[in-house]
Structure 1
Amino acid sequence: MNNIAILGSEKTYSDKACQAFELKTKRRYHHLYFKSITETMIAVNSVTLGVLPIENTLEGFVQQHLDLLIEYDLTIIAEIDLHIDFAFVSHKPLKDTLKVYVQYAAKNQCLAFLNQNPQLKTSICESNSDSYENYIDDPLSGAIIPKHLLKSLKCDYSIDDIADESLNQTRFFIVKSQKNDYLLSDNYQNYKVFIAILPDFDRPGLLLEILDMFAKNQINLLSIMSRPTKKQIGNYRFFIEMESSFSNLVLIKTILNELNKKFHIKLLGIYPNIENQ
């Protein structure tokens, strides 16, 4: 049985995403848990997959997680969507609580609650389970945790449903380290393609030229994100996501080969959209 690296502990959202992936693919993995997303991605190797939270309906893409795809040379093989909701737990009533432990992505999904309670000094954590563990040891504190954990965790006070919106979802990538052989199958009709474009230098019309290739061939782009290359101010890489039918994948590969003559194109994944089959 191969492994899968997961941020946090059992029953957190990354763990639930892993379980959903196992259910949809009818495969089982040995779960390995890590305290930080960096440790999680470092653990990904030839026999270990990884679960990477990548996008949320409230805050969009998790910016630093996009960078991890490049930094650790990861390949996306699937994605999983989960409904997300959060609760606040504390040792004392909310008005007497002075600090809240919260994971960095969860914080941005609960801003209204935090703004309504300015007495709470936020302490940022690497994972939701880390938030809970810190709260347990701090008698004047509270924590923001996944709502479903209320059934199994000990807490004196709790407030349900503190996310900014009730229709809150997070998308998780399932990633691996080795290059994907892209053995595509017509058993799946809906595919996703995720690429990074790494320009050597900036120039007028650069992004337009790239997008025009897809527009002329009527390829539907789902998202475009830019991230600094961290080498020079004003120098950015672009992440582009698109959808495709199985029959259209040959055309997309042809477009990418043409673009690769002018730009450095990194193919981060061609994978069946198992959420929409």
Structure 2
Amino acid sequence: MKSKLIFPLILSIFIMNVNAQNHTIMKEIKKQTAGRDQLGDFAPKFAELNDDVLFGQVWSRQAELSPKLRSLITVTALVSAGITDTSLKYHLETAKKNGITRAEMAEALTHIAFYAGWPKGWGAFRLAKEVYVENNCDPVNAKAGIFGLGEPNEKYKDYFIGKCYLKSMVSPDKTNTLNVSNVTFEPACRNNWHRHTTEQILMVTAGEGWYQEWGKPAQLLQEGDVVTIPIGVKHWHGATTDEWFSHLSIMDTAKDKTQWLEPVNDSDYRNLSK
């Protein structure tokens, strides 16, 4: 296994993607012009504070509070204040972009309604339904990690329960037999039991998932976890019931012949607990 060669490459790709993502987010924040566009002539100071301070400085403090949490707090504040106009819709859209899924938003608004008032909850749900018009899995904005979602894994779909996506990072060629792919599972998606004729390394890049070897308890995997799967060991891996899950798969394809086996027992999977 050429793992010593591949880890520096993966780390470099990861750092480049992080820097690119942070640059994009900062660029989007600095480009905020809603205040000046709508109130620049009438209230220039307010417009300046809105665009340059609120969005340019406060929202950019990601080290102190993630964009996802800022979105959740902002939506909570607006709904609690009874604001259900375009401001709330904008922040619902931002929340979606920042990784809050349809299921999470529905649960959050239900929770808020008990404290802020039932009519306010109803008003917020009307806009939320417009924003979260896609299905519950919302793959376009899935938390697929820094490497992105990739394409539907059609080639191996018969060996998965639920939808899986694949993004190739390093492809084998004449001089390299290693294959590195970022695999993303929608909530509750998992592959069948299977085994490999070569060692496989999993590096979790986002979300939460399960890894289990035959005859052993399932292990909960989270971002940053690494699993080395020995040759010939029967195993499966996939997402938890309510979280997206992404991992890098690193294998020497020249030595591998994957043997796909039976699906994971649905009852056993549903009984797994965090």
Query: What TM-score comes out, normalization by structure 2 length?
Result: 0.27
Pick the structure with greater CA Rg: 2
Query: What TM-score comes out, normalization by structure 1 length?
Result: 0.27
Higher RCO (CA-CA < 8 Å; seq separation 6+) = 1
Higher strand proportion (structure 1 or 2): 1
